[in-house]
Amino acid sequence: MKTSTFFILIGFLLLAPSSSTAEILRDKDCGSCHRLSVAETEKNFAAPDLHFAGDKFQPAWLKQFLKNPAVIRPAVTVIDTPPRPPVTVADANTAVVTAAGFLRERSGNSPPHPSFSEQDASALADGLMGLKISAPPRESTVAAPLSKRQRAKIKYKFERTFSCISCHQSLNLAGKVRGGISGPSLVNAGNRLRADWIVSWLKTPEAYAAKSRMPRYEMDSVTRNQFSQFLMTLKKENVK
């Protein structure tokens, strides 16, 4: 091989565009249930949006989930995607199976959530962490833990003033899971979500979900931060 050809070859390899994260995820069919790009506005998705996964999740949690998917939204009903391409309308309709038991063991007739080996889960989690939106500017989040008094006060707000608990599972003082199931479980929020994303979600939910079933609250930035700090203390290892 002539030296020049060699260098051209190397140059080509270095410049060849590597497939983007979104493409890899799409290849693995994640995109049939999850929104992976902010541009996909035309479609309704059966599963939670992932196009801002890098803003929302903690990487270690993502990896763990991809190794061993667990239920977060106990009340979620998944509409199975029709077989592609749908042959007839009737075919498409029979394929629409509601599976309230999705991600739960052996119930319903939908296949389980894809899961991966250590290595693949790690690579996919890294890829997902690259999915970000040009989010509204973040408020600075306070890292200092809540004092006992502050924690008691914000817990009261979570349970009474704002009644977050009517839709979200959380932990009581004895470490028991309690709360409603119409929203995602927050029992493991401290391992799963990023503190600054929680603040951003409470401030500008419309940046993440065009329409949300969660009420829009007027609250000041101190309260938002305290909710975030409170949720960061909820971890599944504290469940008794």
* Chain residues that interact with ligand HEC, rule: CB under 6 A: 25, 28-30, 32-34, 46-48, 50, 62, 65, 71-73, 76, 78, 102-103, 113-114, 124, 162-164, 166-168, 182-184, 198, 201, 209, 212-215, 217, 227, 231
Identity of the residue, 42 or 124, whose beta carbon is nearer to ligand HEC in the bound complex: 124
Which amino acid is present at 33? C
Identity of the residue, 11 or 210, whose beta carbon is nearer to ligand HEC in the bound complex: 210
CB 174, min distance to ligand HEC, A: 21
Q: How far apart are CA 58 and CA 193, in angstroms?
A: 6
Identity of the residue, 4 or 105, whose beta carbon is nearer to ligand HEC in the bound complex: 105
Encoded tokens for 159: 């349970």
CB 10, min distance to ligand HEC, A: 33
Identity of the residue, 11 or 238, whose beta carbon is nearer to ligand HEC in the bound complex: 238
CB 143, min distance to ligand HEC, A: 18
Q: Which of 38, 93, 58, 25 is nearest to 206 (CA)?
A: 38
CB 205, min distance to ligand HEC, A: 7
Q: How far apart are CA 44 and CA 139, in angstroms?
A: 30
CB 228 within 8 A of CB 198: yes
CB 151, min distance to ligand HEC, A: 14
Identity of the residue, 78 or 171, whose beta carbon is nearer to ligand HEC in the bound complex: 78
232's enclosing H/E stretch is helix 221-232
CB 209, min distance to ligand HEC, A: 4
Q: Which of 156, 215, 155 is nearest to 183 (CA)?
A: 215
Q: Which of 50, 109, 104 is nearest to 76 (CA)?
A: 104
Identity of the residue, 1 or 143, whose beta carbon is nearer to ligand HEC in the bound complex: 143
CB 30, min distance to ligand HEC, A: 3
Identity of the residue, 7 or 178, whose beta carbon is nearer to ligand HEC in the bound complex: 178
Q: At 194, phi and psi to the nearest 5?
A: -90, 135
CB 94 within 8 A of CB 80: no
Q: Which of 183, 188, 236, 238 is nearest to 213 (CA)?
A: 183
Q: Which of 201, 34, 43, 229 is nearest to 131 (CA)?
A: 34
